[in-house]
Structure 1
Amino acid sequence: MYFFPSFSLLCFVHPIPQPLPLLQLTDVPLTLSSLGIGTYLGDTDARTDDAVAAAVIHSVMNGWNVIDTASNYRWGRAETSIGAALASLLAGTVTGDFLQESEYSQDITRSMLFISTKAGFTDESLVRKLVQARKLGPSDVSGGHTLDPEYIIASVEASLERLNLKTVDLLYLHNPAEMQLKRLGWPAFRDKLKKAFIALESLREAGSIRSYGLATWDCFRVPPTDPGHVSLEEVVALAKEISKNKISGFSAVQLPVSATMPEAWLQPWQKVRGETVSLMRAAELLGVAVFTSGPLGEGELLKQMTSRLDPVVQLRAETTTAQKLLQLARSTPGGAMTSALVGHKTREFVESNTQLTLHEPLTEADFRQAMQQVKAILDRATPDTADSGNASQ
């Protein structure tokens, strides 16, 4: 089965000497689609459940193999919706039942899909259960978030049940720095992160997860002078310390990248082996995959940029503003770039977004030229229209 050109999990092509090898994230060689399915937004009702499941089925049938969710998205219903879609996709049903006109006509197998979820934001019922069992103390939870090993293990078990899976390919700790670093300070935060990594390594050994990483918002997009800044090199070193002589399971990070959030590829705010580099470059040097989120800014970028990207020559092959924004996001330069995650549920947007994958991502030269034009467009905007919205997908 052909998946659209993106990032190969087998190796990186590095222009510098002696890079660390990229971890293989799946049991079989697999190229991940340059766009992935995000499931952050939506109402907590049956209609949205059905829409998410249908979007997952349609996207997978059209070549997308990256599916991303979290234990707290739509209060767990996002995972349940994905589980329903997977039940249909993996049950041996003839895929033609889901298709109208498509080149894909073979059955989907689990090995064709890359599924990630997240743990960290708490579910009150699960917290009560663990507190009653004396596996969790009230002080272990702060602001609806925890890195407690017992909670992480229980959260993963609940996610697997909702997803109807035995194993997820990637488990992220969900916004750990954003929720706890400034309050704790780096030494105490590092200690909590270390204990969480130990728990994740145990889940990896048990076969519940294949790899783990950090899903973030700010910590990799702020300068080293910011108290919320995290060094990717230090995180990778911590995981390596835990794994000792074995290969670490730490394999990926997730962070927002969009037309108005260029920090990951633009700003040299990371250090690797004494060299000051961007986050994307640091990830490439350290063998860490990067999944990006928030390409449409929860829809705010669509409102802000409608028709305004039409003059950008490099984006003229794309017909809608959403396609143009997604083309920019999935073309983020760097050998670590894997997939840009986007949430879509309506038939109009699912079909439009899947049409984009018929085109190649931009070359780095075209991407940088396009972003220069986008910056000029944004610089001409009024202060009120220049603000971008927050998003997780």
Structure 2
Amino acid sequence: MSHATLEDTYNFAKKFSQYKDFYIKHNNLIFSKLGLGTFVKEPYKEENYVFHYIEAVKEAIRQGINVIDTASNYRYGQSEKEIGEALAELIAEGEVKREELIIASKGGFIELEYPFPENPYTWIAENIIEAGLATKDDIELDQHCITPDYLEASCRKSLKNLGVDSLDIYYLHNPEMQLLRLGHKAFYKQIEKVFERFEKLADLGLIQSYGVAVWNGFTSENSSELISLEKLVECAIKVGGMGHRFKYIQLPFNMGKTTAYTAETQKVDGVACSVINAAHNLGIGVISSSSLLQMNLFKKSFSAETGVVLDNSMTLKNDIQLALQFVRSTPGIVTSLFGSKVPVNIRENCEISKVRAVPRTKYDLLYRL
């Protein structure tokens, strides 16, 4: 096997049987409730290349995390390559099997290369337009492209960078960037073409499932920027039938950005609901990102009342752990991603595995504090 399996992900979870409800079954796989993300802001800055994620990835897996998330454009492919190095070393040493891990990447942003090309416009012309992957008009703001040919090439490049034969989840990355330019009708026609190609990639075994990763796309108050999850599922059914492989969405969720849970921005069968409820009703798994809001949650300490609701055992020692306990406990979320390149911080974050998730009735109290 070259992808995650139920048996192997279950065996991985059993290694950490002392953990308290830290694993969940979804789509015939066992997910850790925390996943490691590898996004870094402003990847063109040189300082983002003087560190690496290799030891962070190793530590996350050793601490019981089996969900690793990245994207082709994160640090222009460096994040994918470093994940690949870490996996190769752990697998060679017999510490983990590929089939125990759920590996996800994304395509849509133009990844360029590292070192950064002297003229990115020339690079785009030579590597995308002249290569026949897209036209100039297909590229939004010189940074985003969702033609099927470009996305397939990006997916294949991600596989090479990661050193794996298949991705467990492959996301269409921030497609809302194309929505204003295309308009809703043309946008969903383009989504059909993308999903049709993704279904073919799944038939080839290059991906096991696919999804859509957004920032505000599912929760925007501006209807011209809002993506309908129900329509996405309709697109998937149209090109892939009821056995389509559109299985996941990814969106930000944290203590400062809760609209995915609280705001009725979606409709299913004409009934308004939150995107998390919509996903549940449509059979789509929700992966949350930006669990720590890029550390912007911690400009002041959380209240004592919040701490008691999230952890009345007083096991957790800091606000970062409480913030992760919050997202981990959110009903309807399969896995919550956090980013860290420091192994000791990953160990501290995984301390939340020693306490149980907050029950739904108690969790909802947090929105009244």
Q: TM-score, normalised by structure 2?
A: 0.86
Structure 1 vs Structure 2 CA RMSD: 1.8
Task: For residue 129 of structure 1, report the CA deviation from its aligned partner.
Answer: 2.4
Match of 1:240 in 2: 237
Match of 1:326 in 2: 324
**How many residues of Structure 1 are paired with residues of Structure 2 in the alignment?**
333
Q: Give me the whole-angstrom Cα distance separating, in 2, the residues matched to 1:257 and 1:134.
A: 37
Matched, 1:112 2:100: yes
Task: For residue 363 of structure 1, report the CA deviation from its aligned partner.
Answer: 1.1
Q: Is the 8 A contact 1:212 1:251 kept in 2?
A: yes
Task: For residue 45 of structure 1, report the CA deviation from its aligned partner.
Answer: 5.4
Q: Give me the whole-angstrom Cα distance separating, in 1, the residues matched to 2:258 and 2:31.
A: 22
CA displacement, residues 37-77 of structure 1 (integer Å, 9 cap, x when unaligned): 0100176655412xx11111111111110100000111111
Q: Is the 8 A contact 1:309 1:321 kept in 2?
A: no
CA distance change for structure 1 residues 206 and 126 in 2, over 3 Å: closer, same or farther?
farther
Q: Give me the whole-angstrom Cα distance separating, in 1, the residues matched to 2:236 and 2:216.
A: 21
Q: Secondary structure at the match of 1:189?
A: helix
Match of 2:310 in 1: 315
In the alignment, residue 282 of structure 1 is paired with which amino acid?
A: A
Correspondent of 1:5 among 14, 17, 22: 22
Q: Give me the whole-angstrom Cα distance separating, in 2, the residues matched to 1:133 and 1:221.
A: 36
In the alignment, residue 279 of structure 2 is paired with which amino acid?
A: A
Q: Is the 8 A contact 2:60 2:343 kept in 1?
A: no
In the alignment, residue 170 of structure 1 is paired with which amino acid?
A: I
Q: Secondary structure at the match of 2:286?
A: strand
Task: For residue 2 of structure 1, report the CA deviation from its aligned partner.
Answer: 5.1
Task: For residue 277 of structure 1, report the CA deviation from its aligned partner.
Answer: 1.5
Identity %: 32
Task: For residue 148 of structure 1, report the CA deviation from its aligned partner.
Answer: 0.6
Mapping for residues 210-229 of structure 1, pairs under 5 Å: 210-223=208-221, 226-229=223-226
Q: Is the 8 A contact 1:44 1:77 kept in 2?
A: no
Correspondent of 2:356 among 347, 353, 360: 360
CA distance change for structure 1 residues 232 and 208 in 2, over 3 Å: closer, same or farther?
same
Matched, 1:348 2:344: yes
Match of 1:60 in 2: 61
Q: Give me the whole-angstrom Cα distance separating, in 1, the residues matched to 2:194 and 2:168.
A: 17
Q: Give me the whole-angstrom Cα distance separating, in 2, the residues matched to 1:46 and 1:267.
A: 38
Q: Secondary structure at the match of 1:367?
A: helix
Match of 2:120 in 1: none
CA distance change for structure 1 residues 133 and 354 in 2, over 3 Å: closer, same or farther?
same
Task: For residue 108 of structure 1, report the CA deviation from its aligned partner.
Answer: 1.2
Match of 2:250 in 1: 254
Q: Give me the whole-angstrom Cα distance separating, in 2, the residues matched to 1:46 and 1:352.
A: 24
Q: Secondary structure at the match of 1:48?
A: coil
Task: For residue 126 of structure 1, report the CA deviation from its aligned partner.
Answer: 6.5
Match of 1:182 in 2: 180
Per mean C-alpha deviation after superposition, the further-off stretch among 163-172 and 356-365 is 356-365
Structure 1 runs not aligned, ≥5 long: 10-23, 95-106, 374-393
Q: Give me the whole-angstrom Cα distance separating, in 1, the residues matched to 2:194 and 2:147.
A: 7
Task: For residue 7 of structure 1, report the CA deviation from its aligned partner.
Answer: 2.9
In the alignment, residue 146 of structure 1 is paired with which amino acid?
A: C
Q: Give me the whole-angstrom Cα distance separating, in 2, the residues matched to 1:290 and 1:229.
A: 17
Task: For residue 220 of structure 1, report the CA deviation from its aligned partner.
Answer: 1.0
CA displacement, residues 122-160 of structure 1 (integer Å, 9 cap, x when unaligned): 134466224223343222211110111110011011101
Correspondent of 2:287 among 286, 291, 305: 291
Per mean C-alpha deviation after superposition, the further-off stretch among 344-353 and 229-238 is 344-353
Match of 2:6 in 1: none
Q: Give me the whole-angstrom Cα distance separating, in 1, the residues matched to 2:132 and 2:74.
A: 27
Q: Secondary structure at the match of 1:254?
A: strand
Task: For residue 265 of structure 1, report the CA deviation from its aligned partner.
Answer: 1.0
Match of 1:281 in 2: 277
Q: Give me the whole-angstrom Cα distance separating, in 2, the residues matched to 1:217 and 1:46.
A: 25
Match of 1:32 in 2: 31
Q: Give me the whole-angstrom Cα distance separating, in 2, the residues matched to 1:339 and 1:121.
A: 23
Q: Secondary structure at the match of 2:223?
A: coil
Q: Give me the whole-angstrom Cα distance separating, in 2, the residues matched to 1:326 and 1:221.
A: 21
Structure 2 runs not aligned, ≥5 long: 1-10, 14-20, 113-122
In the alignment, residue 310 of structure 1 is paired with which amino acid?
A: A
Q: Give me the whole-angstrom Cα distance separating, in 1, the residues matched to 2:238 and 2:57.
A: 38
Task: For residue 344 of structure 1, report the CA deviation from its aligned partner.
Answer: 0.8
Q: Secondary structure at the match of 2:243?
A: coil
Correspondent of 1:48 among 32, 43, 51: 51
In the alignment, residue 154 of structure 2 is paired with which amino acid?
A: S
Match of 2:82 in 1: 81
Q: Is the 8 A contact 2:48 2:75 kept in 1?
A: no
